[in-house]
């Protein structure tokens, strides 16, 4: 049986992987609640199917998130699947990036993940079922130069997701934490427009969003929590774990400073 059931709520559904996930689920006839702060992106997403409903919602606004989740469940029925994907990625050297940007990255990428998670979780716990997917990143394991604020936000998502999973491992909910390497989506433009680490071009080319979505579904089916969509991502995770100094040497050599 397909574990992806009920209404699917996707944050960050106006672009990239969230948008593609909305399209794919709508093509399967599932009801999709697409949330994003970007109304234009949502309008584009909604063109993909009649079963997609959209909500303009800033995930950092806890009240708005709670209100939206309540509206979604009232209009579309219980949320059976969550893809918690909203994020931003301005990059830069920590000493030069302004403090407001550093904290905003944490507010959206981590705080937003928490707000959506906390709004959706009680219903799933009560029903003892659901698929609960948080989007972290390889950046949640592997810190590199120029990415400190983004790294910190994704390390936080990794820790939150891991503890949430273990605290609720007998709840009947399937949890997954997604740790993709570089993926070809508009998110990368934010990095290119600010500061682009050479490291992000040093490894394998950006993978396609569909590969990440396939890997998530494979893991949900298999009941696996960690989603590393490529073999290289898993190797990178191991390398960071066992040889952090070697990785840092490589990072400095690649960046040239």
Ligand X SMILES: NC(=O)c1ccc[n+]([C@@H]2O[C@H](COP(=O)([O-])OP(=O)(O)OC[C@H]3O[C@@H](n4cnc5c(N)ncnc54)[C@H](O)[C@@H]3O)[C@@H](O)[C@H]2O)c1
* Closest distance of CB 234 from ligand X, Å: 14
Neighbours of 21 (CB within 10 A): 27
Which CB atom, from 140 or from 171, has the smaller least distance to ligand X?
Answer: 140
Considering the complex, state which of residue 123 and residue 180 has its C-beta at the smaller distance from ligand X. 180
| 214-248 residues labelled b (16+ CB within 10 A) or e (exposed) | ebbbebbeeeeebbbbbeebeebbeebeeeeeebe
Q: Which is nearer to ligand X, 69 or 171 (CB)?
A: 69
Strand partners, 56: 36
Q: Please, what is the minimum distance in Å from the beta carbon of residue 135 to ligand X?
A: 4
Q: What are the tokens at 73?
A: 């469940």
Contact footprint for ligand X (CB under 6 A): 11-12, 14-18, 36-38, 41, 58-60, 85-88, 108, 112, 135, 137, 180, 182-183, 185-188
Judge whether 35 and 86 are in contact, CB under 8 Å. Answer: yes
**DSSP state string for 210-239:** HHHHHHHHHHHHHT-SEE--SHHHHHHHHH
250: burial class by Cβ within 10 Å (0-12, 13-18, 19+)?
A: middle
The residue with its CB nearest to ligand X is 16
* Residue 127 Cβ vs ligand X, minimum distance, rounded to whole Å: 25
Alpha-carbon distance of 68 to 180, in angstroms, equals 28
Tell me which residues are annotated as active site: 150
Q: In the complex with ligand X, which residue's Cβ is closer, 6 or 16?
A: 16
- The two three-digit tokens of residue 255, written as one number: 């960046």
């Amino acid at each position: 049986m397909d574990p992806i059931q009920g209404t699917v709520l996707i944050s960050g559904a106006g672009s990239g992987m969230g948008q593609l996930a909305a399209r794919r689920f709508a093509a399967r006839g599932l009801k999709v609640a697409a949330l994003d702060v970007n109304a234009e992106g949502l309008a584009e997403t909604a063109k993909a199917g009649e079963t997609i409903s959209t909500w303009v919602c800033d995930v950092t606004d806890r009240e708005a998130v709670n209100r939206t989740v309540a509206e979604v469940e009232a209009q579309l029925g219980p949320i059976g699947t969550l893809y918690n994907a909203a994020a931003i990625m301005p990059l830069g050297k920590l000493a030069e990036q302004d403090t407001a940007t550093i904290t905003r990255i944490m507010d959206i990428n981590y705080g937003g993940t928490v707000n959506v998670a906390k709004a959706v979780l009680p219903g799933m716990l009560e029903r003892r079922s659901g698929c609960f997917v948080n989007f972290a990143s390889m950046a949640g394991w592997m810190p590199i130069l120029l990415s400190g604020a983004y790294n910190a936000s994704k390390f936080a998502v990794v820790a939150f997701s891991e503890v949430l999973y273990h605290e609720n491992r007998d709840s009947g909910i399937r949890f997954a934490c997604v740790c993709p390497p570089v993926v070809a989506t508009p998110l990368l433009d934010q990095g290119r427009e600010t500061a682009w680490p050479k490291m992000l071009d040093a490894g394998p080319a950006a993978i396609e969003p569909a590969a990440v979505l396939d890997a998530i579904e494979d893991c949900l089916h298999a009941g696996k929590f960690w989603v590393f969509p490529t073999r290289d991502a898993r190797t990178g995770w191991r390398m960071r774990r066992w040889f952090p100094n070697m990785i840092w040497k490589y990072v400095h050599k690649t960046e040239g400073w």
